[in-house]
C-alpha cells in the first residue's frame, strides 16, 4: 500500500471518526422514555423491551418512566412540552396520536405539530371474541344473532381503540350492540369469561391465553391479515371487507428535536427491533414489527387520524 | 397424589439457593417497607419492576410476592408499636394492637400477629394449591349486580364497625364516596370535580390519599403530643403467649383465616376488606365485646390472620385467570408479561415450574418471616425508636418518594399535603378516617357496578334481587343494619364506645 493511499485512508478514517463523534455526542446522558400508561399494560411491555435494547445500542441508559392518566394524554403532554433535545421521548400509541386528539374537546397537545416522529415500532392486532356459551362460531353468525336479540359488548373503556373497534364493527355490520365500558382490559375480560357480558373487543396479546385455552372463542382478528400467532382465526375483514383496526406503538420526540438526534434515536430503535430476542418476544406477544423510518411514522399518524375521524364522529364519542 | 408431586416439584424450584435468596430479599424488603409508614408494597413493586426484567421469571415473581406478604407482616409491627399502620390492611390491627402495646403487652401482640399470619399464610397457601382452579368459578359468578351488593354490604359494615358515633362514621363514608367521584365518569367520559386539572382525570390517587390521611396526619398528631410517644414500647418483655392467650387467639385466627381466604379471592376485596370484616365479626361474636378497642387479643389475631390469608389467596385469580384482584396483583401481571409469560389459565399447564414454584415459595417466605421477625422485632423497634426529628423527615421523604413513584405525578404530592391536613383536622373532630378510606375505595366500584348492572338489565332494578348471590348479600347487609340499629345492641354499642373514648 502506498504511503499516499495510506494517508488518504487515514484521512478518511479520521473524517469518518469525526462524523461518528458528532453523532456520538447524542446521547451524553440517560434518555427518558415516557410511557403514557401504567406499568404492566401492553404499551409498557413493548416500551420496556425496546428501551432495554436501545440502551445497549446508544451506550446510555434509556430509563422508562410511566406517566399514566387521562388515557395517555398526561404522558404525551409532558413530552410535547419537554425540551426538544431528544433526552425525553414518548412511547406513543393509537390512543395518544390518533384517538385522543379526535375525542378530547379540550386538546392538551397537537399530535402532529407538537411532535417529531422517530419510528413506528409495532402493530398489535385486536380481536373480537365471545364467551363460548353465546353459541356463535363466526362473525356472520354473531351479526345474525345481533339482528334478533339485544347483545352487549365489553371494552377496556370509553374512547379506547377497543371501544372504537367495536363501534366501527357496529356501523359496518349495520347492527346495534350495547357498549359496556370497563376500567381496562382485565375487568372486562373477567366479566366476559364469567358470561356477564357475552362479547369483547380486546388486544390480542391480553386475550390470547383465554383463546388458546378455549375459555373464549375468537371470532375474528381486526387486522387486514390473519395474525401469525393465530393462523386459524379469520379476520373480521373476511366477513366485512375493508374492516381494519389495530393498536400500534411508536416513538416520538418533541417537535424541534435536531434531525441528527432523531436519526440517532431512529437508528437505535431499528437496531433494537432487529434484535433476535426482541423479535422472539414480539412474536410471543402477537405483535408485528414494523420499525419504520421517521417519515413513514409521520405519514402513518396522518392516515390514522383520517381513518378514525368518521368513526369517532359517527359513534359520537366526546370527552371534555 | 398429583397435588403432592406438584408441590414437591414446586418446593424443588423454590428451594434452589438463588430462589431462596430472592425470597429472602423479597420478605426482608417487604418487612422493611411495611414497617415504614407511607411507603407501601405497591410503590415498591412498581419501583422494582424494571429490575425484574433481568431476572429469571420464577425468581422475579418469588421476590415480588415476598415483598407483598412481607409488607403485611411489617405493616402490623408499626400498627402495634406506634399506632401507625404501615400498610392500609393493618389499619384495623392498630386499634387493639396499640392498646395492647400501651398495656405492656406489645410482645404478645406482635407474636399474636406473627402466629396468626403464619397460620393463615400456611392454610391459604395450601388453599391456593388445592383450590386454585375450582375456586375461580366462584369469582366468575360475580357480575355487576353481585359486586354492587357486595359493596353495599362492605360499606354498611364499615359504618357498623366504626368507632364512635354512627352519624360521624356515615359522614366520613359519604365524604369518601364523594372523593371517589373525582375523575372521569367511565360511562360518559365527563370529568367530575376535577377543577379543570387534567392530572385528576383518573381520580385522586389512592396511595396519596391513604398516606396523607394515615401517615402525615399521624405525624402531625405525634408532633403535637410528643410525650405520648413514651407510651411506645422501649423493650419487649415477653414474646411467647401463655396457654390462656393461645386459647383466646385460636378461634379468631381460624375464623380470620376463613374470612380472609374467601374475601381475598374476590377481585377488589382483598386484604383491607378482609381485616375489616374479621374485626367486625370478632367483635360481634365476642363474649366480651367491651374489650375491643382496649387491647383485645382477638382484635389482633382475627384481622391479622384475615389480611394475610387475603393477601395469599388473591394470587388465585392472578395465577389461574390472569386477573388482578388488587393493584399489587396488576403489577405482578406486568412482571409476568415483561417476562413473556401471558398470565391466564395456561400458566398452570405451560409453566408448571413457575406456578408451583411460586406457591411453594409463599410457604417458605412465610416461614422465613416468622423465623426472622420474632427475633428481629427488637431491630424493627430500634428503627422506630429513632428520635422524631430524624424519623419524621425520613418518613415524610419516603412518603413523598413512594407516592410520586406510583404515577410520577406532582399533583399527588399536593394531595398528600392536603389530606394530611384534612386527616389532622378530622382526628381533632374525632372523626375516624377508616370509613372515609373504605368509601373512597368502594365508592367508584359501587357506582360503576350499579350502572353496569342497570345497563345490562336494561333498566330493570329487580336484577339485584332476582340474582341469588346478589340477593343474599343484600339480605346480609340488611341484617347488619338491623343489628346496628336494634335498640338493645345500639345502647350496648354506645356504651362500648363511650368507654373507649374516655
- Considering only residues 202 to 221 of chain B, which have any Cβ-Cβ distance to chain A shorter than 8 Å? 202
* A8-11: long-range pairs with CB below 8 Å, 24+: none
Residues B466-486: tens digit of each pLDDT:
888 889 889 988 887 887 777
Average pLDDT over residues B150-154: 77
- Give me the torsion for CA of B96, B99, B101, B103, rounded to 10°: -130
pLDDT at B230 over 50: no
Q: Which of B436, B428, B427, B426 is nearest to B158 (CA)?
A: B436
Check residue B351 and give its pLDDT: 76
A17 is a domain residue: no
Q: Do A211 and A258 fall into the same domain?
A: no
SS3 assignment, position B220: helix
Give the single-character DSSP code of A285.
T
User: In degrees to the nearest 10, what's the CA dihedral of A102, A251, A124, A69?
Assistant: -60
Alpha-carbon span B481 to B462, nearest angstrom? 21
Which one of A288-292, B262-266, B311-315, B375-379 scores highest in mean pLDDT? A288-292
Torsion sign over Cα B106, B108, B114, B120: negative
Q: What is the pLDDT of residue A320?
A: 60
Q: State the CATH number of the domain containing residue A129.
A: 3.40.190.10
Same-domain pairing of A272 and A176: no
Listed in order, strand segments (DSSP E) in A245-312 are: 246-254, 288-289
pLDDT at B381: 67
Mark residue B215 as left, alpha or beta (left: phi above 0; alpha: psi -120 to 50; beta: remaining): alpha
A213 contacts in B (CB within 8 Å)? 344-346, 349
Q: In terms of domains, do A226 and A268 share one?
A: no
In chain B, residues with a C-beta closer than 8 Å to the C-beta of A194 are 139-143
Q: Give the mean pLDDT of A226-255.
A: 91
Alpha-carbon gap, residue B347 to B350, rounded angstroms: 5
Q: Confirm whether A112 is domain-assigned.
A: yes
Question: How many CB atoms are located within 10 Å of the residue B261 CB?
Answer: 27
Look over chain B and give the mean of its residue pLDDT values, rounded to a whole number: 77
Share of chain A above pLDDT 70, in %: 91
Beta strands A62-66 and A151-155, pairing class: unpaired
Q: What's residue B373's pLDDT? A: 73
Is the separation of the CB atoms in B200 and B182 below 8 Å? yes
> Does any domain span residue A13?
no
Which range of residues forms the domain containing residue A188? Answer: 125-238
Is position A57 within any domain? Answer: yes
In chain A, the residue whose alpha carbon lies closest to the alpha carbon of B141 is A194
Q: Say how many CB pairs under 8 Å bridge A and B.
A: 133
At A88-120, the pLDDT tens digits run 999 999 999 998 888 887 788 899 999 999 999
CA distance A252 to chain B (A): 20
Note whether A232 and A256 are same-domain residues. Answer: no
pLDDT in the model for residue B427:
83
pLDDT digits (tens, 9 = 90+) for B372-404: 777 777 777 676 666 777 777 877 787 777 677
Task: Report the C-alpha gap between B156 and B272 in whole angstroms.
Answer: 15
Contact (CB, 8 A) for A238 and A245: no
As for how many domains chain A has, the answer is 2
The predicted-structure confidence for B412-443, as pLDDT tens digits, reads as follows 889 889 998 998 998 888 887 777 877 787 78
**A285 and A267 fall within a common domain:** yes
- On whether both A54 and A136 belong to a single domain, the answer is no
Q: Three-state SS for A151?
A: strand
Question: Chain B contacts of A71, Cβ < 8 Å?
Answer: 201
Rounded average pLDDT over B74-102: 76
Which helix (H) or strand (E) segment is A190 a member of? helix A185-193
Contacts with A, B 398-427, CB within 8 Å: 407-409
> What is the structure's pLDDT at A12?
45
Are B164 and B497 in contact by the 8 Å Cβ rule? The answer is yes
Which grid cell is A34?
415516557
Residues of A with Cβ-Cβ distance to B140 under 8 angstroms = 190, 193-194
Grid cell for residue A259: 434531525
User: Tens of pLDDT along B192-201?
Assistant: 888 877 777 7
For the residues of A231-243, what is the DSSP string, one character each?
A: TTSPBGGGTSTT-
Mean pLDDT computed over A290-316: 88
**Residue A125 grid cell:** 392486532
Residues A116 and A250 in one domain: yes
Q: Which of A245, A204, A201, A203 is nearest to A223 (CA)?
A: A245
What separation in angstroms does the CA of B368 have from each of A245, B176, B329, B461? 50, 38, 22, 50
pLDDT digits (tens, 9 = 90+) for A115-136: 999 999 999 899 999 999 999 9
pLDDT band at B127 (very low <50, low <70, confident <90, very high): confident
B236: Cβ contacts below 8 Å, ≥ 6 apart: B106, B107, B110, B377, B378, B381
CA dist., res. B134 & res. B380, Å (int)? 40
Q: Average pLDDT over chain A, rounded to whole?
A: 85
Residues A252 and A201 grouped into a single domain: no
Closest-CA distance, B331 to chain A, in angstroms, reads 6
Confidence tier at B86 by pLDDT (50, 70, 90)? low
Contact flag B143-A191 (C-beta cutoff 8 Å): yes
Q: Cβ separation of A183 and B141 shorter than 8 Å?
A: no
Q: Which three cell numbers stand for residue A152?
A: 352487549
* A contacts of B202 (beta carbons < 8 Å): 68-70
Q: Which residue has the higher pLDDT, A93 or B216?
A: A93
How far apart are the CA of B322 and the nearest CA of chain A, in angstroms?
8
Look at residue A211 and tell me whether its pLDDT is greater than 80: yes
Residue A177: the pLDDT is: 92
Tell whether the model's pLDDT for residue A37 goes beyond 70: yes
**Which residues does chain B have within 8 Å of residue A67's beta carbon, measured at their own beta carbons?**
407-409
For position B352, what pLDDT does the model report?
78
* Domain limit, last residue, from A210, A238, A266: A238
Q: What is the pLDDT of residue A261?
A: 92
pLDDT of residue B51: 67
- What does the block give as the cell for A16? 469518518
Query: Do A180 and A81 share a structural domain?
Result: no
Q: Is residue A213 part of a domain?
A: yes
Burial of B50 (0-12, 13-18, 19+ CB in 10 A): middle
> For residue B108, which phi and psi values (nearest 5 degrees)?
-65, -45
pLDDT band with cut points at 50, 70 and 90 for residue B87: low
Q: Distance of alpha carbon A210 from its chain centroid, rounded?
A: 21
> Is the pLDDT reported for residue B208 higher than 70?
yes
- Indicate whether B340 pLDDT > 60: yes
Last residue of a domain, one of A238, A257, A278: A238
Rounded-to-integer distance, Cα B197 and Cα B414, Å: 12
Amino acid at each position: 500500500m502506498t504511503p499516499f493511499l495510506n494517508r488518504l485512508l487515514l484521512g478518511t478514517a479520521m473524517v469518518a471518526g469525526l462524523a461518528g463523534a458528532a453523532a456520538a455526542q447524542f446521547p451524553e446522558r440517560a434518555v427518558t422514555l415516557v410511557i403514557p400508561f401504567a406499568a404492566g399494560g401492553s404499551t409498557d411491555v413493548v416500551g420496556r423491551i425496546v428501551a432495554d435494547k436501545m440502551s445497549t445500542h446508544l451506550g446510555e441508559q434509556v430509563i422508562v418512566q410511566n406517566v399514566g392518566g387521562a388515557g395517555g394524554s398526561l404522558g404525551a403532554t409532558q413530552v410535547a412540552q419537554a425540551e426538544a433535545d431528544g433526552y425525553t421521548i414518548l412511547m406513543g400509541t393509537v390512543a395518544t396520536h390518533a384517538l385522543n386528539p379526535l375525542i378530547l374537546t379540550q386538546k392538551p397537545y397537537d399530535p402532529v405539530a407538537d411532535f417529531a416522529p422517530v419510528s413506528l415500532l409495532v402493530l398489535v392486532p385486536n380481536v373480537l371474541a365471545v364467551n363460548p356459551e353465546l353459541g356463535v362460531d363466526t362473525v356472520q353468525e354473531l351479526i345474525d344473532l345481533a339482528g334478533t336479540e339485544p347483545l352487549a359488548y365489553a371494552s377496556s373503556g370509553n374512547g379506547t381503540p377497543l371501544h372504537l373497534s367495536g363501534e366501527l364493527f357496529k356501523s359496518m355490520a349495520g347492527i346495534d350492540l350495547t357498549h359496556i365500558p370497563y376500567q381496562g382490559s382485565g375487568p372486562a375480560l373477567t366479566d366476559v369469561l364469567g358470561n356477564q357480558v357475552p362479547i369483547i373487543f380486546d388486544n390480542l396479546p391480553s386475550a390470547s391465553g383465554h383463546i388458546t385455552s378455549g375459555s373464549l372463542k375468537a371470532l375474528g382478528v381486526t387486522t387486514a391479515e390473519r395474525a401469525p400467532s393465530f393462523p386459524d382465526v379469520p379476520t373480521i375483514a373476511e366477513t366485512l371487507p375493508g374492516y381494519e383496526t389495530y393498536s400500534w406503538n411508536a416513538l416520538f420526540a418533541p417537535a424541534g428535536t435536531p434531525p441528527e438526534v432523531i436519526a440517532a434515536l431512529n437508528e437505535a430503535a431499528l437496531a433494537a427491533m432487529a434484535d433476535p430476542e426482541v423479535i422472539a418476544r414480539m412474536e410471543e406477544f402477537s405483535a408485528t414489527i414494523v420499525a419504520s423510518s421517521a417519515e413513514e411514522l409521520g405519514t402513518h399518524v396522518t392516515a390514522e387520524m383520517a381513518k378514525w375521524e368518521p368513526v369517532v364522529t359517527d359513534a359520537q364519542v366526546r370527552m371534555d | 397424589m398429583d397435588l403432592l408431586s406438584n408441590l414437591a416439584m414446586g418446593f424443588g424450584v423454590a428451594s434452589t439457593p438463588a430462589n431462596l435468596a430472592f425470597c429472602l430479599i423479597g420478605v426482608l424488603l417487604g418487612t422493611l417497607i411495611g414497617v415504614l409508614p407511607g411507603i407501601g408494597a405497591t410503590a415498591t413493586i412498581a419501583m422494582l419492576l424494571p429490575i425484574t426484567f433481568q431476572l429469571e421469571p420464577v425468581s422475579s415473581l418469588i421476590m415480588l410476592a415476598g415483598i407483598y406478604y412481607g409488607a403485611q407482616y411489617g405493616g402490623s409491627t408499626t400498627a402495634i408499636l406506634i399506632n401507625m399502620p404501615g400498610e392500609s390492611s393493618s389499619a384495623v390491627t392498630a386499634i387493639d394492637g396499640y392498646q395492647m402495646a400501651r398495656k405492656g403487652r406489645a410482645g404478645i401482640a406482635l407474636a399474636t400477629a406473627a402466629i396468626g399470619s403464619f397460620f393463615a399464610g400456611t392454610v391459604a397457601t395450601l388453599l391456593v394449591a388445592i383450590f386454585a382452579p375450582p375456586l375461580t368459578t366462584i369469582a366468575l359468578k360475580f357480575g355487576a349486580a353481585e359486586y354492587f351488593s357486595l359493596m353495599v354490604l362492605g360499606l354498611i359494615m364499615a359504618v357498623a364497625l366504626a368507632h364512635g358515633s354512627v352519624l360521624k362514621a356515615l359522614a366520613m363514608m359519604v365524604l369518601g364516596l364523594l372523593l371517589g367521584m373525582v375523575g372521569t365518569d367511565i360511562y360518559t367520559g365527563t370529568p367530575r370535580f376535577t377543577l379543570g386539572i387534567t392530572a385528576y382525570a383518573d381520580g385522586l390517587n389512592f396511595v396519596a390519599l391513604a398516606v396523607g390521611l394515615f401517615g402525615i396526619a399521624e405525624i402531625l398528631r405525634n408532633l403535637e403530643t410528643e410525650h405520648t410517644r413514651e407510651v411506645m414500647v422501649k423493650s419487649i418483655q415477653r414474646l411467647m403467649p401463655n396457654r390462656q392467650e393461645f386459647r383466646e387467639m385460636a378461634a379468631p385466627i381460624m375464623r380470620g383465616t376463613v374470612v380472609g381466604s374467601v374475601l381475598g379471592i374476590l377481585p377488589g376485596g382483598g386484604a383491607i376488606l378482609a381485616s375489616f370484616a374479621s374485626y367486625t365479626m370478632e367483635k360481634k361474636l365476642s363474649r366480651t365485646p367491651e374489650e375491643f378497642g382496649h387491647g383485645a387479643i382477638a382484635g389482633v389475631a382475627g384481622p391479622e390472620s384475615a389480611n394475610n390469608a387475603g393477601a395469599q389467596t388473591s394470587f388465585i385469580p392472578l395465577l389461574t385467570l390472569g386477573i388482578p384482584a388488587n393493584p399489587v396483583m396488576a403489577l405482578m401481571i406486568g412482571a409476568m408479561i415483561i417476562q413473556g409469560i401471558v398470565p391466564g389459565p395456561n400458566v398452570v399447564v405451560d409453566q408448571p415450574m413457575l406456578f408451583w414454584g411460586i406457591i411453594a415459595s409463599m410457604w417458605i417466605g412465610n416461614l422465613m418471616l416468622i423465623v426472622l421477625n420474632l427475633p428481629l422485632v427488637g431491630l424493627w423497634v430500634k428503627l422506630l425508636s429513632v428520635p422524631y426529628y430524624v424519623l419524621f423527615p425520613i418518613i415524610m421523604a419516603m412518603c413523598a418518594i413512594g407516592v410520586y413513584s406510583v404515577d410520577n405525578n406532582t399533583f399527588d404530592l399536593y394531595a398528600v399535603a392536603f389530606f394530611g391536613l384534612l386527616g389532622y383536622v378530622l382526628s381533632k373532630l374525632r372523626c375516624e378516617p377508616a370509613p372515609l378510606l373504605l368509601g373512597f375505595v368502594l365508592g367508584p366500584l359501587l357506582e360503576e357496578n350499579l350502572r353496569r348492572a342497570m345497563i345490562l338489565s336494561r333498566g330493570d332494578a329487580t336484577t339485584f334481587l332476582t340474582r341469588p348471590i346478589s340477593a343474599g348479600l343484600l339480605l346480609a347487609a340488611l341484617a347488619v343494619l338491623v343489628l346496628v340499629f336494634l335498640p338493645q345492641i345500639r345502647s350496648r354499642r354506645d356504651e362500648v364506645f363511650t368507654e373507649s373514648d374516655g
